[in-house]
Structure formats: C-alpha cells, structure tokens
Structure 1
Amino acid sequence: MLDYDKEADAYDATRGGEPRAAAAADAVLGLIPPDTRRLLDVACGTGIVTRRLAAARPATRVTGADLTYGMARTAAVRLPGAVVLADSRALPFPDGVFDAVTSVWLLHLLDR
C-alpha cells in the first residue's frame, strides 16, 4: 500500500491531475442534493476534487477529512480552514451535522 504522507506532493500529477479531478467532481455533483448546505468529503486526499465541489456549490459549506497528514496538509492549502485530519471510522463530528457526504477515492482502498 502507498505511504500517502510521502506521496501527497506528487499524488495528483501521477493520478490524472486536474482533468481527472474535473471528471470526478462533475460525476459526484449530480448526486448531491441541490439543497445541501453542509457537505463532508471523506478521504478527501489532496482536496483536488473537494475544491471543485466547493467551487461548484458556493452556498454549500464543504468540509474535507483525510486520515493522513500529508494529504490533509495539501488539501488545507486548497480549502483553508475546511479540512480536518480524521479517520473515517471515527469522525470528529456529531450526528446530523452534514446534509450529504461524499467519498470519491476511498472505497477501493478498504479491505473486506
């Protein structure tokens, strides 16, 4: 498995960069209810997609969460004040805080 702390700086460039992020964001945006006011992007990685979600929905407060420091640090540059370092299995938010939750690049990494 990759060491995402070490990979964070080069991650986007080795994974399709902005074009892939744009395609992912476009696909996800159609699934988010239009009246969503607070959105959580779990395993936001570098924030490359999360930033696009936030830009496309300016009335929505978007928060990113990632487990690794390197990824969260990179995402925080893209989304100042809107990224937390957190494990998706124990998120630091009370129930009902978010209207919608996205997770673009997490599921393929999970073990059974």
Structure 2
Amino acid sequence: MLDYDKEAERYDASRGGEPRAAAAADAVLNLVPLQARRLLDVACGTGIVTRRIVAGRDGLRVTGVDLAPAMVRRAAARL
C-alpha cells in the first residue's frame, strides 16, 4: 500500500499535476448544485484540486480532510 505521508512531496507531479487538477475540479463543480454553499472534500490530498474548486465557484466554502498528515500539511500551505 502506498504511504501517502512519504509520497506527499512528489504526489502531484506523479498524478498529472495542474492539468489533472483542473479537469478534476471542473468535473466536481459540474456535479455540485449552483445553490450549494458548502462542500466536503474527502481525501483532499495535497489540496491541488481543492484549491481549484474554491477558485471555480464564488461563495462555495470547501473543507478538505485527509488521513495522511503530510498531505493535509501540503493542502493547508496551498490554501
């Protein structure tokens, strides 16, 4: 099993980086009703997608959670 704490530093680059994050955020936002004001991002990882979701919808408060402390630290720094 992948150790996400050890992978946090290189995770984004190994998973398609910003282009993949943009596509993922667009896909999520297409599923979230326009009137939604809160979203829970479960397994937010490094926050690369979370950041784009936040930027993509005014007034949407996004909370990210992840089990891997190193991922959460990267997400907190990014957001």
- Please give the TM-score of this superposition, normalised by the length of structure 2: 0.96
Task: Identify unmatched segments of 5+ residues in structure 2.
Answer: none
- Please give the TM-score of this superposition, normalised by the length of structure 1: 0.69
The one-character-per-residue Cα deviations of 1:28-83 (angstroms, maximum 9, x if unpaired) are: 1100010111111000000000100000112011110000101000000122xxxx
CA distance in 2, matches of 1:9, 1:39: 25
Task: Identify unmatched segments of 5+ residues in structure 1.
Answer: 80-112
The residue type equivalent to 1:10 in the other structure is: R
Asked which structure has the greater RCO (Cα within 8 Å, sep 6+), the reply is 2
CA distance in 2, matches of 1:57, 1:29: 8
Among the aligned pairs, what percent are the same residue? 73
How many residue pairs are counted as aligned between the two chains?
A: 79
Q: Which structure's residues are more often helix, by fraction?
A: 2
The residue type equivalent to 1:8 in the other structure is: A
Which protein shows a greater Rg? Answer: 1
Q: Who is 2:15 aligned against?
A: 15
Equivalent residues in 2 for 1:13-52 (5 A)? 13-52=13-52
* Aligned-pair Cα RMSD in Å: 0.7
CA distance in 1, matches of 2:58, 2:46: 20
CA distance in 1, matches of 2:25, 2:2: 23
